Copies of this chain bind each other. A is one copy, B any other.
Amino acid sequence: MSLMEKYIGALNNLNFGDMYNNDFFLTWEKTRDELDAVFTVADALRTLRENNVSSRIFDSGLAISLFRDNSTRTRFSFASASNLLGLEVQDLDEGKSQVAHGETVRETANMISFMADVIGIRDDMYIGKGNAYMHQIVNAVKEGFEDGILEQRPTLVNLQCDIDHPTQTMADTLHVIHEMGGVENLKGKKVAMTWAYSPSYGKPLSVPQGVIGLMTRFGMEVVLAHPEGYEVMEDVEEVAKKNAAASGGSFRKTNNMAEAFEGADIVYPKSWAPFKAMEKRTNLYGAGDFDGIKTLEKELLTQNANHKDWECTEEMMKKTRNGKALYLHCLPADITGVSCKEGEVAGSVFDRYRVPLYKEASFKPYIIAAMIFLSKMKDPQAALAALEAGRRARLMK
């Protein structure tokens, strides 16, 4: 039996034609079939690589990366995905300056895209800005393509914005799918997306928002837990509610970590900053009010310190189903007694889950590659079949 047969079969049952020549902004803008197509292609590409079959669909071409924050993991995931498909990464380093506007964005987007097949952007710092900026870029290159300036339309991959972190949460979910033995087994599983204490502050909201926006698609019982005052974006909570209703699962909130962990199949304890505070910070940055920012930081650290009991301890883990919930984290975690004095997770819990955590991360390059693949291949099933048939070795044997 061929390597690609089962993936091609799965794709044949899915409707994902709109992904061709399209972008990936937010998971909830995609249909379930489209998400399943990404998971399927990610697994297919991994299978090819594990069997030393090249999955280069590009003979040449550039993948532009634009990181508005320092990033090692996402940078390497994007570089790996691009390289896997045959693209060379070219980094656009704008510095960590404020977001550029209007004319400049339109012009820069076109100037860097003459031979760009993909643009990957991470811009998660400022509420209301990151996702909007990605749309500006995409509008500019779409227009450039329609006007005959660009001969190909570069695909956007959202590598993290102020709203969602789709490559992370899709990788998290693909890991869960593998651990649970199939996407169909997610139905009814309890997921605790909970806040956890960290000695730093201002961690992005895109992960908890992305998780409740995505995991509610699969009929799971999703609980969002955090201390009062750590609310996430309301719009995304609404998305989660609707998703849960549509998928036959549930979405609810609690201010009690233990309650969330009770009987959970999956736990994702992770620090984040309150949405309102991040919104305030964005405005302070906009106004150049650096004293205000310092005051806000102080307040947030003080507020955090009131909730040091929000830690994923051994005792907390015992409350989960058979004491063996799958522990998720986007990494790096604040590990009590290891990377900090008091943090998100006990050292012994982290230790026990290290291998699955690293595996969770290992899906990200394939998720990104799958997003690109589905945007670039008109007939992905035929493309997978052709790659296998071609059997060009990735590494000469």
Interface residues of A (CB under 8 A from B): 46, 49-50, 54, 56-62, 72-73, 76-77, 79-80, 83-86, 88-90, 92, 102-104, 107-108, 110-112, 114-115, 117, 144, 147-152, 331-332, 335, 338-339, 355, 358-359, 361-362, 364-365, 376-378, 383, 386-387, 392-397
Contact = CB atoms under 8 A, between A and B. Distances in A.
Nearest to A386: B396
B358 A144 contact: yes
B114 A76 contact: yes
A60 B87 CA distance: 9
Given A88-B88, A386-B396, 19 more contacts: A46-B151, A49-B151, A54-B60, A58-B394, A58-B396, A59-B392, A59-B395, A61-B395, A73-B111, A76-B92, A79-B90, A80-B115, A103-B335, A103-B339, A104-B339, A110-B361, A147-B355, A149-B359, A152-B395
A240 B289 CA distance: 54
A149 B362 contact: yes
A59 B50 contact: no
A79 B383 CA distance: 28
Contact of A147 (B76, B92, B358): B358
Copies of this protein, total: 3
B386 A57 contact: no
Main secondary structure of the interface of A (DSSP, over half): mixed
Nearest to A87: B83
Given A60-B394, A103-B339, A361 B76 contact: no
B60 A358 contact: no
A154 to B, nearest CB: 12
A115 B73 contact: no
23 contacts: A46-B151, A49-B151, A50-B151, A56-B59, A57-B396, A58-B396, A61-B83, A61-B394, A72-B108, A72-B112, A77-B114, A79-B90, A84-B115, A104-B332, A107-B358, A147-B355, A149-B355, A149-B359, A149-B362, A152-B395, A378-B397, A383-B396, A387-B396
Contacts of A73: 111
B332 A107 contact: yes
A359 B151 contact: no
A114 B395 contact: no
A42 to B, nearest CB: 12
B102 A362 contact: no
Contacts of A361: 110-111, 114
